[in-house]
Amino acid sequence: MSKPNLFPLVLAIGVALLLGACSKSTPSAPPAAAPVSKFVAIARGRVDVQGGLVHVAASRDGIVAELPKAAGDDVKAGDALVVLDTKQAKIALDGARAELNAATAQGTLLRAKQPALKQRAARVLEAAVAGAATGQSADDAKQALSELDAEIAVSSANIETAKQKVRQAEYEIEARTLRAPVAGRIITRSTHIGDVVSPSSGELVELLPDAPRIVRAELNEGFVNKVSVGMTAEISSETDPGKPQTARVVRIGEVFGPSKLNESSQEATDTRDVECILELPNNDLKVGQRVQVRFLPPSK
């Protein structure tokens, strides 16, 4: 009976022992350390303009008669944006001016009588003292002068009332011209000539004011104590993250609230954020653009 060949088995055991020894003699490399971030906090943000967009609405009921400016036009403060029809207001102004003219003419007529009545009253009084006229005549002359003075006073009040009506009518005409409250650029214009508008119609013109751009960042509750006014942050557009701008923190809110920038409504409700305002160095970013805000530690 032949003996079994044990060489292959011995060789396999030897190789296994050798590999085990090698693995024990070569220690495994320690895990790589996680990179340390240079930012103390990160937040979502949205570009805005200081003071916000300006919404111009009608202050009176009316029909749009003129549209001197179009969307995209630059305007100065006081420029007319929308002009409502003023026919009725001008009729009221004409009536107020006619009333003022009548009151003024009446006052002029009454005052013209005053010197003669004063002279007559003085003469009658002098005659009464000399015995050439009765005391009753002097009293009548004095009473007539007093009545004239009262009529002049009433006339003066009527003139002031008429002037007030003229001013009110002029104001009503001016109120039908919607003007730019600040300098800026018209973003949208949601009305046309012939439209019937009223104060309840909402905004007719949306204006982007000539004001510095800011970022409204939503600072999470866990980062609030790490950020302070005066710190700087890198602002990166979500569409072009490779070109960050440096902004400065100018205000941190006092009240926590739900997020306004989260896509998920449930996530927005669960998140408690505080608003952080940062001032941008220029107006390169567009209002409404979403950005990422990475806060840098304060410089030592």
Q: Are residues 111 and 171 in the same domain?
A: yes
| pLDDT at residue number 134 | 65
| Average confidence (pLDDT) over 286-298 | 92
Residue at a domain's end among 175, 201, 220: 175
Tens digit of each residue's pLDDT (9 = 90 or more) over 232-262: 999 998 777 778 899 999 999 988 888 887 7
Q: Are residues 147 and 67 in the same domain?
A: no
Q: Are residues 217 and 195 in the same domain?
A: no
| pLDDT at residue number 263 | 62
* Local structure of residue 296 (DSSP, 8 states): P
Q: Are residues 77 and 142 in the same domain?
A: no
In what helix (H) or strand (E) does residue 89 lie, and over which residues does it extend? Answer: helix 87-130
* Residue 181 one-letter amino acid: P
**Does the pLDDT value for residue 6 go beyond 50?**
no
**Cα angle vertex 170, ends 169, 176, to 5°?**
95
Q: Taking phi first (over 0 means left), then psi (-120 to 50 degrees means alpha), and beta for anything else, what does residue 61 get? A: beta
Tens digit of each residue's pLDDT (9 = 90 or more) over 183-236: 999 999 999 999 999 999 999 999 999 999 999 999 988 888 899 999 999 999
3-state SS, residue 27: coil
| pLDDT at residue number 110 | 87
Q: Are residues 245 and 272 in the same domain?
A: yes
Q: Cα separation of 231 and 224, whole Å?
A: 12
| Average confidence (pLDDT) over 50-69 | 95
Residue in this structure with the two tokens 């019937």, named with its chain if needed: 196
Q: Are residues 60 and 198 in the same domain?
A: yes
Q: Cα separation of 124 and 147, whole Å?
A: 17
Q: Are residues 168 and 91 in the same domain?
A: yes
pLDDT > 90 in the chain, percent: 58
The residue range of the domain holding 122 is 87-175
Residue 10 counted as domain residue: no
Residue 75 counted as domain residue: yes
Q: Are residues 103 and 171 in the same domain?
A: yes
Q: Are residues 104 and 167 in the same domain?
A: yes
**Does the pLDDT value for residue 86 go beyond 50?**
yes
**Does the pLDDT value for residue 136 go beyond 50?**
yes
Residue 19 counted as domain residue: no
Q: Which is more confident, 198 or 265?
A: 198
Residue 47 counted as domain residue: yes
What's the CATH code of the domain at 238?
Answer: 2.40.30.170
Residue 277 counted as domain residue: yes
Tens digit of each residue's pLDDT (9 = 90 or more) over 162-184: 999 999 999 999 999 999 999 99
pLDDT > 70 in the chain, percent: 80
| pLDDT at residue number 122 | 73
| pLDDT at residue number 21 | 45
Contact 207, 75 (CB under 8 A): yes
Strand ranges (E), 62-158? 62-66, 74-75, 80-84
**Does the pLDDT value for residue 68 go beyond 50?**
yes
Q: Are residues 284 and 165 in the same domain?
A: no
Say which range, 14-23, 147-156, 167-176, 244-253, has the weakest mean pLDDT: 14-23
Q: Across all residues in the chain, what is the average pLDDT?
A: 84
Q: Are residues 78 and 197 in the same domain?
A: yes
Number of neighbouring beta carbons within 10 Å of residue 11: 10
Query: How many domains does the chain contain in total?
Result: 3
Contact 59, 175 (CB under 8 A): yes
What's the CATH code of the domain at 63?
Answer: 2.40.50.100
pTM for the structure as a whole: 0.70
CB neighbour class for 204 (10 Å; exposed up to 12, middle 13-18, buried from 19): buried
Q: Are residues 202 and 251 in the same domain?
A: no
Residue 11 counted as domain residue: no
| pLDDT at residue number 19 | 46
| pLDDT at residue number 15 | 45
